[in-house]
Amino acid sequence: MKEASTLRKVVISSTFATGLFLATPQMADAALGDQTLRKGMDHPDVKELQEALKKKGHFNFDRSTGYYGTITADAVRDFQRKHNLQVDGIAGPQTLGRLLQEMGGQAPTSTPSTTTTQTTNSTLNNTGLLRFGSNGTQVEQLQQKLKEKGYYSHTITGQFGRVTEAAVRDFQRANNLVVDGIVGPQTLSRLINQPVPAQTTTYEPNVPKTEERNQQTKSETTQSIQTSTTLRVGSRGSAVTNLQAALRSVGIFNQEPTGYYGDVTETAVRNFQRVHNLTVDGIAGPNTLRKLNEVATNKSSQSTTQAPSTTQTKQVSNTNSSTSSAALVTNLVAEAANQIGVPYLWGGTTTRGFDCSGFTQFVFKQQGISIPRTVAQQWNAGRSVSKPAVGDMVFFETYQKGPSHNGIYIGNNQFVHSGSSTGVAIASMDNPYWKQRYLGAKRLY
């Protein structure tokens, strides 16, 4: 198959598409070994990869194209197979490390141009929003400032990806800012220790104008949502307030209802839709609203003239238990989604890098659930289930006998895990590598 060299747009169509992209990310220039390479990428690093594989007799196309297509993926698999690596066709840290070792050297480190703090502050102060998918000099300067403050420990690439987003979130969390991974005026001013410029409009996700916000009710009591309407980004009013309160009641909208449908509300809707097997479009249409009415926990209480019967009490208890589990599963999936792209790190337990069990432990910890540290301990702590449901943990036997790798099941025979070649990513249980190594599923909540 001939590999096209035309720049391809990256379309993320998995169950974890977050809806935060302003534009298709352009990969920043970097040296081979600085990033994971995979099918669909068009980048100078891919060309270096192809040339290295060609020298080792694995890439047999007549020229290096810079596009990672089927021929390149097959060449990577051939190399992985020869060196007893996970055969997935993805050039991750282990594969690239072994290839560079075979080439007799390490990848050169990308060194950003030296920029004084004063210049960096001035440039960053004049920039607009920086978010996932942004790239260029301003992102380089952002990464440098985050690095100086101890939140970013990776190569300065100029590409705002998941690692940069995680660093921004950590910074925002530590400085009591809105934790959205987006660098607006408030985050920038705190980052460069300067006040927000007088003419700058403060970026407040999902917050309408002050006079409109003051008219909104602050009550978290969820009213029944009219399912005949459709709410989307830009919508305002009491229907949006009720939607946000309902989303908050299931744990995936972590701020006061504002009555404005912005990026944060859209992301919460997407996360809710994923867990309940609805169309993931970030639009609260009839099907989404109907399901949300079913599971929201803070429904308006209706007066009653007599005490509920024992049967009714049991039914309410069971409903609350079911709803609580649904909220937990929603939160588990949402948290796992936030970590996609975090690199693999042996022994890693933070957003700077995870190993497989460090990742699962972190996700559960964010929901207030303490689970053991290692894969084997997590296997022993879980309750066996015959068939995994969303939120269950799936286990595999890889480099040693018994459970040695795991991930969180997200439905559609897919799971999210921290793989040594991929970092935190989605994988299919139908993949032959995982299918033949599958041990079973456990429930840890």
Tell me, yes or no, if 83 is annotated catalytic. no
* Core vs surface per residue 371-396: b (16+ CB within 10 A) or e: bbebbbebbeebeeeeebebbbbbbb
Does residue 58 carry a catalytic annotation? Answer: no
CA distance 49 to 412: 33
**Does 417 participate in catalysis according to the annotation?**
yes
Marked catalytic residue, from 43, 58, 276, 417: 417
Do the beta carbons of residue 428 and residue 413 sit within 8 Å?
Answer: yes
Strand partners, 418: 424
| 3-state SS, one letter per residue, for the chain | CCCCCCCCCCCCCCCCCCCCCCCCCCCCCCCCCCCCECCCCECHHHHHHHHHHHHCCCCCCCCCCCECCHHHHHHHHHHHHHCCCCCCCCECHHHHHHHHHHCCCCCCCCCCCCCCHHHHHHHHHCCCCECCCCECHHHHHHHHHHHHCCCCCCCCCCECCHHHHHHHHHHHHHCCCCCCCCECHHHHHHHCCCCCCCCCCCCCCCCCCHHHHCCCCCCCCECCCCCCCCECCCCECHHHHHHHHHHHHCCCCCCCCCCECCHHHHHHHHHHHHHCCCCCCCCECHHHHHHHHHHCCCECCCCCCCCCCHHHHHHHHHHHHHHHHHHHHHHHHHHHHHCCCCCECCCCEECCEECHHHHHHHHHHCCCCCCCCCHHHHHHHCEEECCCCCCCEEEECCCCCCCCEEEEEEECCEEEEEECCCEEEEEECCCHHHHCCEEEEEECC
Q: Which of 43, 58, 276, 405 is catalytic?
A: 405
How would you class 137 by CB atoms within 10 Å of its CB: exposed for 0-12, middle for 13-18, buried for 19 or more?
middle
The residues annotated with a catalytic role in the active site are 356, 405, 417
